[in-house]
Structure 1
Amino acid sequence: MKWLPKNLSLLILLAIIIAGGISYVAQPLVHASPNANSVIINVFTILTGFLFAIMALFANVEYDSSVNWRQLEVQESINQSRFDKLHFLFYLYLAVLIFVFMAVLLKDNKQYQNSLFLVCLEYFYLWLTSFSLMMSISLPSKLNTFRKNKFNEAIKDKRPQP
């Protein structure tokens, strides 16, 4: 994704602001819809399962034993960085599910149906939903890069040298 800025902090700040705008616009619509929470729960349950499978894929990392210890440490730090990002996304997805579940419970209780607490909870989980989806945008690209790197490692010793 060459069009993305190199500064990750700027991207995260932009995602936070955009997620706030989405949350602000979507909250009244979600509050009025009886099915919106179910859709969010279904989508994030599927995403959580998918991400768990990806984490299992990344956890099965083979190290090149032909390199020296410094190169192995570099490989490990790269793999740990990837895994940390996936962990973060996984916990974001779980947080979305937890907060939506709380909102569903409160919405079913007549005492809290139109309370300020429920409205704030809806704003928050919609922000969290939007933010986590934006953080997931680069996941397919990361998977493709991971696949290419694994292929290049597998073929590097077998390729004829010029």
Structure 2
Amino acid sequence: MAIAVSGFIGYRFQPMVANNPNAVNTVVTIFSILAGFLIAVITFIAEPTLQQARTWDELQRMKDTVRRKLIRQKLLFFLYLLTLGIALAMFLTPPTMLELLKWLQTVFLGLATFVFLASFSLPGSLMKIQMERYEAVLQDSRPKVVADAKKAAEQVKKRNR
């Protein structure tokens, strides 16, 4: 759905980007800020897993999950950079190459729309990371009597199944 919307917007609204450096500068500024924010998110992704895991086996089981999260954020970061690269190409393309410029503007606007829509997942990702960190610290600071009671309740549940 996001790809279809982005393609439509890129094609339909390309004339609004043509000869409008303010629009391009606004998009470049937004994606530069988002790229910095995303780097911060990427640096925190593995931390909750490292705090949560108690053994080597647990770390090994969680490795694929951490890798998937990192790959998703890395892809988004590269899309930010690609959007910025296309903006640079638009500025460097001579005005005499009208067809190339029009094509670059269409791709720029479509990609910017797609990446913008994909960025709506960032706050949720950051919130999830922070909650995982919170849960790990909560688990570490849980009084022994509470931890023992929880283990006992889990063992009873397993036996009753």
* Aligned-pair identity (%): 28
Q: Is 1:116 matched with 2:103? A: no
Greater share of residues in helix: 2
Kept in 1, the 8 Å contact 2:45–2:70? The answer is: yes
Q: Is 1:54 matched with 2:41? A: yes
Partner of 1:91: 78
Q: Distance in 1 between matches of 2:80 and 2:108?
A: 10
Bigger radius of gyration among the two: 2
Partner of 1:130: 113
Q: Distance in 1 between matches of 2:52 and 2:10?
A: 46
Q: How does 1:3-14 map to 2 (within 5 A)?
A: 14=1
Partner of 1:66: 54
TM-score (norm 1): 0.80
Kept in 2, the 8 Å contact 1:103–1:122? The answer is: yes
Runs (5+) with no aligned partner, structure 1: 1-13
Shift of the alpha carbon at 1:157?
4.2
Q: Is 1:103 matched with 2:90? A: yes
CA RMSD across the alignment: 1.8
Change (3 A) 1:148 1:65: closer
Higher relative contact order (CA 8 A, sep 6+): 2
Q: Distance in 1 between matches of 2:138 and 2:66?
A: 20
TM-score (norm 2): 0.80
Number of residue equivalences? 144
Q: Is 1:77 matched with 2:64? A: yes
Partner of 1:148: 131
Runs (5+) with no aligned partner, structure 2: 150-161
